[in-house]
Amino acid sequence: MTTSRSKDNGHWIFPEQLDFLNAVGFIYLIKNLITGMMYIGKKIFAGMGKKNKGVQSNWRTYMGSSKSLLEEISRVGKENFKFYVLEQYYTKGGYSFAETWSQIVSETPCHNDRFYNRFIDKITWKVTEPPSERHRKRLRDLTK
């Protein structure tokens, strides 16, 4: 008898098990169900530095790095937020670029009434993995 294995993605909504053993990380969108405000960010699956290389991060329970977002989650409760993974990435360049691309396409700093994001970091990277079509579609669908 075969048993179906449930996904272990923590609170993240994604159509399949995240490949945390092979991928670098994922791009996410967190949505406040009360106000409709959103936050776009990235989360790495495991450390890449000298001291933490290969050590799994807190990705399953991570709720973002924005101070205003975290304050709002604390104030109104985690149950009033949805945590979406837009896509996971297997290269550091693709992962970094996909976050910036998502923030630029959504014009997050220009829409303070829709996004908790207030700036986009200036990053230099070599991109060999552009945002996937699935990523583009999920971002379009979730930010309408």
Q: Per-residue pLDDT tens for 36-84?
A: 999 999 999 999 889 999 999 999 999 999 999 999 999 999 999 999 9
Residue with tokens 């495991």: 46
What pTM, to 2 d.p., does this model score? 0.83
Are 117 and 67 in contact, with CB atoms under 8 Å apart?
Answer: no
CATH number of 20-142: 3.40.1440.10
- Output the six-digit token pair for 138: 């999920």
Are 81 and 32 in contact, with CB atoms under 8 Å apart?
Answer: yes
Q: Where are the domains of the chain?
A: 20-142
Q: In what order do the strands lie in the sheet with 81-89?
A: 12-13, 81-89, 25-32, 38-44
Going by DSSP bridges, is the β-strand pair 25-32/38-44 parallel, antiparallel, or unpaired?
antiparallel
